[in-house]
Amino acid sequence: MLLNACSDAEPVSGSLPVYDEFQAPPQWLSSADLQQQAPREIAAFTLRDQNDDAVDNGVLKQRYVVANFFFTQCNNQCPKLTAGMRRVQTAFAADNAVQLLSHSVASGLDNATTLSAFADANGVQAQRWRLLSGDGKTIDKIAHDIYLLPDATAGRDRLVHSELFVLLDNKQRVRGFYNGSLDLEIDNLIQDLSKLRDES
């Protein structure tokens, strides 16, 4: 559990909660505690992006991250998720501290070639929004251990995935979950990310 959490677990005015488990009640920290708390420890990982560049856990450090899970051949909910991520990209187009990460759950289908084509077709700005692929076990571990999503997010066939977007702050703490297929939730995400930027 997080240290220095407000004992009554009530929201602190103007702040966002901090999550340490997906289904556990969130914790609200005072502004001072938010600033003093050490960055969350993240296990090392290495994936590859749409340019076939290696991307490791360093991409999370001192960045505000919006993450989701998708695959390029998904024609069901993924187009809505992609549209939502594109809205976030547009809203923070000039902010180099914001990083968007879309993780493919289809390791056998998605590689640099398919991700690059998808990026070109969907207006992905390479340094702002990285499309990531890797082996299924690594993606599963990242989904659960870093983004606190349930184990079923990536699923055994790597094609069962979540509509949830996850927001991390610049200390790698989970600060929110959002349904990426809903415009209102994307509005909330953009607003919350702006709040986090104001905290720094």
- pLDDT range class, residue 150, cuts 50, 70, 90: confident
Summary mean pLDDT of the chain: 88
Comparison of pLDDT for 103 and 155, the residue scoring more: 103
Pair 17, 27: CB distance under 8 Å: yes
Highest mean pLDDT among 35-44, 60-69, 71-80: 60-69
Q: Where are the beta strands (DSSP E) in 26-97?
A: 46-48, 54-56, 64-70
- pLDDT range class, residue 14, cuts 50, 70, 90: low
Please state, in angstroms and rounded to a whole number, the distance separating the CA atoms of residues 104 and 87.
19
pLDDT at residue 160, rounded to an integer: 53
Averaged pLDDT, 126-140: 93
Is this prediction's pTM over 0.75?
yes
Q: Residue 56 forms beta bridges with which residues?
A: 46
Averaged pLDDT, 41-67: 96
Check residue 144 and report its DSSP letter.
I
34-55 core/surface letters (b: 16 or more CB in 10 A; e: else): beebeebeeeebebbbbeeeeb
Residue 69 has pLDDT above 50, yes or no: yes
pLDDT at residue 122, rounded to an integer: 97
Please state, in angstroms and rounded to a whole number, the distance separating the CA atoms of residues 192 and 188.
6
Domains and CATH numbers, the chain: 1-37 (no CATH), 40-199 (3.40.30.10)
Residue 175 identity (one-letter amino acid)? R
138-150 core/surface letters (b: 16 or more CB in 10 A; e: else): bbbbbbbebbbbe
Pair 160, 71: CB distance under 8 Å: no
| Nearest partner of 199 among 166, 171, 164, judged by Cα | 171
pLDDT digits (tens, 9 = 90+) for 88-107: 999 999 999 999 999 999 98
Please state, in angstroms and rounded to a whole number, the distance separating the CA atoms of residues 153 and 72.
16
Characterize the bridge pairing of strands 164-168 and 129-132. Answer: unpaired
